[in-house]
Amino acid sequence: MSQDISSISTGGAHRPLNRNDYKTLSLAALGGALEFYDFIIFVFLATVVGQHFFPTDIPEWLRQFQTYGIFAAGYLARPLGGIVMAHFGDLFGRKKMFNLSILLMAFPTLLMGLLPTYASVGVIAPVGLLILRILQGAAIGGEVPGAWVFVSEHVPARRVGYACGTLTAGLTAGILLGSLVATALNTILTQEEIIAWGWRIPFLLGGVFGLFAMMLRRWLEETPIFTEMKAKKQLVEGLPLKQVLGNSKAEVAVSMLLTWVLSAAIVVVILMTPTYLQKQLAIAPTAALQANSLAIVALTIGCIFFGWLNDRFSSGLIFIVGSIGLALSAYTFYHGVVADPSLLFVLYPLVGFFVGIVGAVPYVMVNAFPPAIRFSGLSFSYNLSYAIFGGMTPMLVAFWLKNEPMAPCYYVMALCCVGVAVGGWLLLQERQEPEAIPQVN
């Protein structure tokens, strides 16, 4: 479990956030938002991308399945990229890997906007798209865990929940940016123009966003905790991942289950639902994306709220209540919109707010591993789980939709049961061992 290497490194566990803390949070969150935009803009353009990178004479469901398969490839690449960057992050510093992840994201995104289509070069087109998506996955595999570790090791121990929630809100703001760009695209251009050339614009913008984010990261400083470990020669010896697998199996299992809940909520409710609303319910693309933007705003608020709660209440209780709230709101949203589409702009933000329970996930994970192997432990657990569950979720839900119109709803509700179970386990651990989930510093 976590070890208290220094409460002095961050200026005391109970002090308020200072100007330097807010600068670190702001730059990390903004950079993460721009990088996360690069990773997820693909899903907002899934329908158009499928038309350009696969044969036109195959069934629509198969084209969508293959498109989501390439989307999933990014998730499958996350563990390798995350493990490699976390390994060097634990040995040589958080900031270096934090900066490298942006570079590995910006260029593939830019190239996606320049790729020739299937009509031009045949099978080379989807293969090229697949390779670039894999590079994106490797980059985001180091970005998200690295960002959580970075901010948690900068702020006071009693503000870690708020910091992680705020950083997660920054990442979700990247989804909002993607939704807004997609909405603007559908508002300004006709569908014919989008299909002809407009679909390339969001990817080209993503490359520019990535380079801007890389410039922002120059202002960040190495975390006080890593600096102190290095000065006291407390850095891990050998392979950090070996120690994670040898000494932190329970922590890895809990982190993977929480990541499964996180991936189900984000991928299904936020990323897949705009396409679901258009395909299954015949809702206009502009309306679906506008409602999605409102849901992401609510999600961003929810991340900060649930992260803030972690600094004040039991993590187990938060996950039990939050997961139940997500399950009820998801059921209300999907069934309510089918019954009355006019409720879309009311119910989508409601479920979006409860998706914000994901803002409480990193608090548990950064506290589960000792500082010397924190980056590797968190990265391995998060990325392996996201590769398995986040990557397969779009294809599973798309396949399930062939026979069950409410597949997204039921999938999310099933994962909420996992969230309740993990919350119950955390509550039991907290009561048996008050220090089972100790403070990060």
- Mean pLDDT (the chain) is 85
Q: Mean pLDDT across the stretch 391-403?
A: 83
Instruction: State the angle between helix axes of 78-92 and 60-76 in degrees (0 to 180), rounded to the nearest 10.
Output: 20
Residue that has been written with the tokens 């192997």 in this structure: 373
User: Tell me: the pLDDT tens digits for 47-73?
Assistant: 788 888 887 777 777 777 778 788 778
Evaluate if pTM is beyond 0.85.
Answer: no
Is 70 exceeded by the pLDDT of residue 1? no
Position 260 scores a pLDDT of 92
User: Tell me: the pLDDT tens digits for 374-393?
Assistant: 989 999 999 888 888 877 88
User: Tell me: the pLDDT tens digits for 95-149?
Assistant: 878 778 888 888 888 999 999 988 888 889 889 988 998 888 888 888 888 888 8
Please state, in angstroms and as integers, the Cα–Cα distance from residue 85 to each residue in 100, 210, 426, 440, following that order.
9, 18, 29, 21
Band (pLDDT 50/70/90 cuts) for residue 43 is confident
How many Å apart are CA 183 and CA 231, to the nearest integer? 50
DSSP string over 35-93? HHHHHHHHHHTHHHHHHHHS-TTS-HHHHHHHHHHHHHHHHHTHHHHHHHHHHHHHHH-
Position 416 scores a pLDDT of 95
Position 3 scores a pLDDT of 42
How many Å apart are CA 425 and CA 404, to the nearest integer? 32
Please state, in angstroms and as integers, the Cα–Cα distance from residue 89 to each residue in 2, 353, 370, 401, following that order.
17, 33, 14, 41
User: Tell me: the pLDDT tens digits for 249-283?
Assistant: 989 999 999 999 998 899 899 988 988 898 888 88
Position 253 scores a pLDDT of 93
Task: Work out the percent of the chain whose per-residue pLDDT is above 90.
Answer: 29
How many Å apart are CA 319 and CA 232, to the nearest integer? 37
434 by Cβ neighbours in 10 Å (0-12 / 13-18 / 19+) ranks as exposed
202 by Cβ neighbours in 10 Å (0-12 / 13-18 / 19+) ranks as buried
Is 60 exceeded by the pLDDT of residue 436? no
User: Tell me: the pLDDT tens digits for 289-338?
Assistant: 889 989 999 999 999 999 999 999 999 999 999 999 999 999 999 999 99
Instruction: State the angle between helix axes of 19-44 and 94-112 in degrees (0 to 180), rounded to the nearest 10.
Output: 30
Question: What residue ranges define each of the domains in the chain, with the CATH number in brackets?
Answer: 19-432 (1.20.1250.20)
Q: Are 226 and 88 a contacting pair, CB within 8 Å?
A: no
Position 433 scores a pLDDT of 65
- Under DSSP, the state recorded for 189 is S
Band (pLDDT 50/70/90 cuts) for residue 12 is low
